[in-house]
Structure 1
Amino acid sequence: MLLVDIAGGITTHQSLLFWQIYFITAPHRWITLILVAADHQKYADRKWTFMGFTLVVVAACLCLRLGSGSLICLGAIDYLWNAWHFASQHHGIFRIYERRSTSSSDARIVRLEKLAFRGFLLYVIARVAGWGWPDGGLGGQTIAAWLDPAVLVVPGLFIIRQAVRWMRRPRDGFPSFAYLTSMLTLFVAMLAAAHWQQSQLVIQLALASAVFHSLEYMSIVTWSVQKSKSTARLFNAMARTWLLFLLVFVVVIGAGNYLVSRGWFEFWVLINLMVAFLHYGFDGMIWKAPRQRPAVAGSGAS
């Protein structure tokens, strides 16, 4: 896709942007709401948390829109929250691969890796947003000049470690190595483009990153649905014909978003900002691994 974007020029980029916004990014956000609603039994113990969060998001968005008279403030919040969401999702999916291929690591090491992994992704997103650019208006040029090559230590160490694990366990180690390498390569490319101030390439890579992020989310949702043991009737009906449901869902959400945006653009943006915030928040609740409960004294094998 990136090669097509680069070779095709501005017309091709605009076409890809159209499909990315309406038929890739929008559905991947809306699907989270469907998952929570359809599999309501799974989240019954947190029903009021989900409902309360939804009310807070809707009320806050309406207040900010009516109070400021524009969507600029909400757009800024969306960018910052989306940056954290990007970093969290990529790290979370990497951890899924890790748990399936390696034994549990020391908790302190896991926390340190989490900090380094997400920190690197957030740094790249900040550079793509304009921090460190001479004409970006955000300052930081001097710091970014030496920090850009320094932070490359993080992806380098992660890739080397995963390569070693892959060589030790060829069958189990390859998926995590392949995912990590492809994702970090994309972010390193974005950092390099920002460092050398190749604005057009930054835009093209950012589009590729958005598509990568959305498609990997839809993939992990598909994986989760297919292995789910939910007893919710609606969820089971969806799961039995999941690929067909997903195809119809993408078409309906994409076409619906396009039609609404043509006639009521600001309303469409506001609704999708609300959905985006719900997507970010719900993701943090439904995908978080449950904490291990301490063993009760005397409950072990005698």
Structure 2
Amino acid sequence: MGSALQEEKAGWIVSPAFDLCFIINLWWVLVALLPEATAGTVAQQSSLAFWQIYFITTPHRWITLLLVAADPDKRQDRTGLYLMMAVIAAVVVGGAQLTVGGFSCLLAIEYVWNAWHFGAQHGGILRIYSMKSGGGRRWLELNTMRLFPPYVSLRLVAELNGWLELNPTVGSLIGIVDYVALAGPLLLVSQVLVRFTQAQTPKLLYLLNVYAMYAAMLSCLRFGFHQHLVMLTVANAAFHSVEYFAIITHYASKRRTQGSQSAFQAMARHWGRTMCLFVLAIGVLSTVMENSRYELAIQIFLATNLWAAFMHYTYDGLIWKLRKPQTAKTLGV
């Protein structure tokens, strides 16, 4: 009985049901299957973007700061470094407001960094699946994931801002680059298929699902399915945040009995309740502040969330490195 259960979970990060719903995130396919007219109606009339921005994307950034502040195992005796980075980011954000009166330049940097961060996170989760199922070339997996999703994200902003229309030659060249960008994903999928084993089923599903989502976004850009593109962009942001919450939830389940005693370990013992209350608090506070009638409250909201975004990207690059034995052990790889 025990060996059968272990075999069933082989290759999965948590379990088939959990992974499919919250890490592989198969639900996004429902968005892709919507007719264009239906997608347009949903995009214009629904409140999906509201829930995605305030109660999924924003809390998933702030929860990284909670994790770093409450879990000494993540800081690993580098508390001073983490504090210094937080102060530097605060000075940069505050300085931008004081010197140029806005965050336009920082928002451009944030978009590019966010695009890279999306790809890096997908690459990290793919590596977890590889380490659990055996096989896989680390360099190819990480860098293919780090390049294709950011390319699609940057291609998106270039298209929506009309930059490609300003230079038809560049626009034609980008049309060719679109196909070249698909070479890496196709190579990686082919490699997995050639060496495929049953234990690699979760890895293959994750790989196909992520690439299908970005390929769908790229197709919408190329063929002008703008209503679908809006829905896919919302789904893409939710996909990224949900899988991040899922990985932290998995980490919290291990930290209940592993690692040093800390505030986070106490939270981990009641993680479902802790995470729900945190998401609700951040979502409500963000909604109230951004929709405030006071300009100062709106500026504080924008500044603190931009700061939190930079901290989220920076800290994530430090606290989830699978090359660290303790991180790999706690994540079960």
Structure 1 length as normaliser, TM-score? 0.87
- 1:252-296 per-residue CA deviation (whole Å, 9 max, x = no partner) reads 11111111111122221111000010000000010012358xxxx
Give the 3-state SS of the residue equivalent to 1:220 in structure 2.
helix
Give the 3-state SS of the residue equivalent to 2:259 in structure 1.
coil
Tell whether 2:148 aligns with 1:120.
yes
Residue from 54, 62, 72 that aligns with 1:40: 72
Give the 3-state SS of the residue equivalent to 1:284 in structure 2.
helix
- Paired amino acid for 1:223: H
| Cα distance in 2 for residues equivalent to 1:250 and 1:17 | 16
| Cα distance in 2 for residues equivalent to 1:136 and 1:267 | 34
Quick one: structure 1 residues 192 and 173, their matched pair in 2 at CA, closer, same or farther if it must change by over 3 Å? same
Could you say which residue in structure 1 is the equivalent of 2:63? 31
Count of residue pairs brought into register by the alignment: 284
Displacement of 1:134 after TM fit?
A: 5.7
Displacement of 1:44 after TM fit?
A: 4.0
Could you say which residue in structure 1 is the equivalent of 2:273? 244
Tell whether 2:239 aligns with 1:212.
yes
- Paired amino acid for 1:123: Y
| Cα distance in 2 for residues equivalent to 1:44 and 1:156 | 38
- Paired amino acid for 1:38: A
Displacement of 1:74 after TM fit?
A: 1.7
Quick one: structure 1 residues 200 and 130, their matched pair in 2 at CA, closer, same or farther if it must change by over 3 Å? farther
Could you say which residue in structure 2 is the equivalent of 1:259? 288
- Paired amino acid for 2:146: R
Quick one: structure 1 residues 238 and 129, their matched pair in 2 at CA, closer, same or farther if it must change by over 3 Å? same
- Contact preservation (8 Å) 1:57, 1:278: yes
Higher mean C-alpha deviation, range 57-66 or range 133-142: 133-142
Could you say which residue in structure 2 is the equivalent of 1:151? 181
Residue from 62, 83, 98 that aligns with 2:115: 83
Quick one: structure 1 residues 138 and 265, their matched pair in 2 at CA, closer, same or farther if it must change by over 3 Å? farther
In structure 1, runs of 5+ residues without a counterpart are 293-302
| Cα distance in 1 for residues equivalent to 2:162 and 2:57 | 30
Displacement of 1:153 after TM fit?
A: 2.2
| Cα distance in 2 for residues equivalent to 1:115 and 1:42 | 25
- 1:169-199 per-residue CA deviation (whole Å, 9 max, x = no partner) reads 21x2111111111111000001111122333
| Cα distance in 1 for residues equivalent to 2:145 and 2:60 | 23
Structure 2 length as normaliser, TM-score? 0.79
Same amino acid, percent of matched pairs: 35
| Cα distance in 1 for residues equivalent to 2:40 and 2:224 | 19
- Paired amino acid for 1:75: L
- Contact preservation (8 Å) 2:70, 2:263: yes
| Cα distance in 2 for residues equivalent to 1:210 and 1:52 | 29
| Cα distance in 2 for residues equivalent to 1:268 and 1:138 | 34
Tell whether 2:115 aligns with 1:101.
no
- Paired amino acid for 1:156: L
In structure 2, runs of 5+ residues without a counterpart are 1-29, 326-333
Tell whether 2:83 aligns with 1:54.
no
Tell whether 2:258 aligns with 1:226.
no
Give the 3-state SS of the residue equivalent to 1:45 in structure 2.
coil
Higher mean C-alpha deviation, range 215-224 or range 197-206: 197-206
- Contact preservation (8 Å) 2:54, 2:283: yes
- 1:8-58 per-residue CA deviation (whole Å, 9 max, x = no partner) reads 434434x00100010000111011001111112542421111011001000
Quick one: structure 1 residues 78 and 174, their matched pair in 2 at CA, closer, same or farther if it must change by over 3 Å? same
Could you say which residue in structure 1 is the equivalent of 2:193? 163
Give the 3-state SS of the residue equivalent to 1:230 in structure 2.
coil
C-alpha RMSD over aligned residues: 2.2
Higher mean C-alpha deviation, range 93-102 or range 139-148: 139-148
| Cα distance in 1 for residues equivalent to 2:49 and 2:160 | 26
- Paired amino acid for 1:98: S
Displacement of 1:98 after TM fit?
A: 0.6
Could you say which residue in structure 2 is the equivalent of 1:295? none
Tell whether 2:138 aligns with 1:110.
yes
| Cα distance in 2 for residues equivalent to 1:237 and 1:291 | 23
